[in-house]
Amino acid sequence: MRDTLSSAITDFAAGMGLSRPAGLCFAAIWSSPAPVTADELTARLGIARSNASTALRELRDWGLVAVERRPGDRKEYFVAPDDPWEIARRLLAGRQRRILAPLLERLLEAEAETGNPRVAALHAAAERADGWLYALAALDGAGLRAAMAAPPSREGGGKNKKKKRKG
């Protein structure tokens, strides 16, 4: 059974667009005090070796894990960044590349086909969001932390909380 931290990281990773096995592997690698091998991950997580290999390739594609080698050992040892801000930066970059960039291409095509001003407005909004994500992802971990040091107020902009009924 997974612990609360592993479960939270896995769910968050899945929400960001990673597969659940990739989320499981990332949680295990990030929370491990030492680099781990694919064999150690399969034993610890109870997943098939093929699932672990696919998940590790996905994590490398996102830049969330790196491979270390040890002299005289043919195994690959996996490590993840310690800094949560660096992880956040890499996740933002992945989302921008995998979601917004292809969306912009499709919206540009739809705008050219239809000439619809609503599609043009949607394209402009997506382009602005893409620009922000790109700029944030271009920072290093410390730069991202500094850029987000003073979060915007949620007053008036968030969902309304339900009031408890008196009764």
What is the tens place of the pLDDT at every residue in 43-58? 999 999 999 999 999 9
Pair (69, 126) in one structural domain: no
Query: Measured between alpha carbons, how far is 80 from 41 in angstroms, rounded to an integer?
Result: 14
First to last CA, the chain: 42
Q: Is 1 a residue whose pLDDT tops 50?
A: no
Pair (19, 71) in one structural domain: yes
Task: Assign residue 45 the CATH number of its domain.
Answer: 1.10.10.10
103 in a domain, yes or no?
Answer: yes
Q: Is 162 a residue whose pLDDT tops 90?
A: no
79, 104, 123: which is the final residue of a domain?
79
- Residue 66, SS3? strand
Closest CA to 26 of 7, 43, 39: 7
pLDDT computed for residue 154 by the predictor = 67
Residue-range definition of the domain harbouring residue 74? 4-79
161 in a domain, yes or no?
Answer: no
Pair (20, 74) in one structural domain: yes
157 in a domain, yes or no?
Answer: no
DSSP assigned state of 36: B
% of the chain residues with pLDDT over 90 = 72
* Average pLDDT of the chain, as a whole number: 89
155 in a domain, yes or no?
Answer: no
Query: Measured between alpha carbons, how far is 100 from 95 in angstroms, rounded to an integer?
Result: 7
For the segment 78-122, what is each residue's pLDDT rounded down to a tens digit? 999 999 999 999 999 999 998 899 999 999 999 999 999 999 999
**Span of 64-73, 82-91, 99-108, 144-153 with lowest mean pLDDT:** 144-153
DSSP assigned state of 156: T
Read off the tokens for 53. Answer: 């290999």
Pair (8, 28) in one structural domain: yes
> Mean per-residue pLDDT for 131-152?
88
16 in a domain, yes or no?
Answer: yes
Are the C-beta atoms of 146 and 88 separated by less than 8 Å? Answer: no
Pair (102, 124) in one structural domain: yes
Pair (29, 93) in one structural domain: no
- Residue 69, SS3? strand
Pair (26, 71) in one structural domain: yes
DSSP assigned state of 62: T
Query: Measured between alpha carbons, how far is 22 from 47 in angstroms, rounded to an integer?
Result: 11
Instruction: Using pLDDT thresholds of 50, 70 and 90, give the confidence band for residue 8.
Output: very high
Tell me how many domains the chain contains.
Answer: 2
Pair (37, 96) in one structural domain: no
Q: Is 69 a residue whose pLDDT tops 60?
A: yes
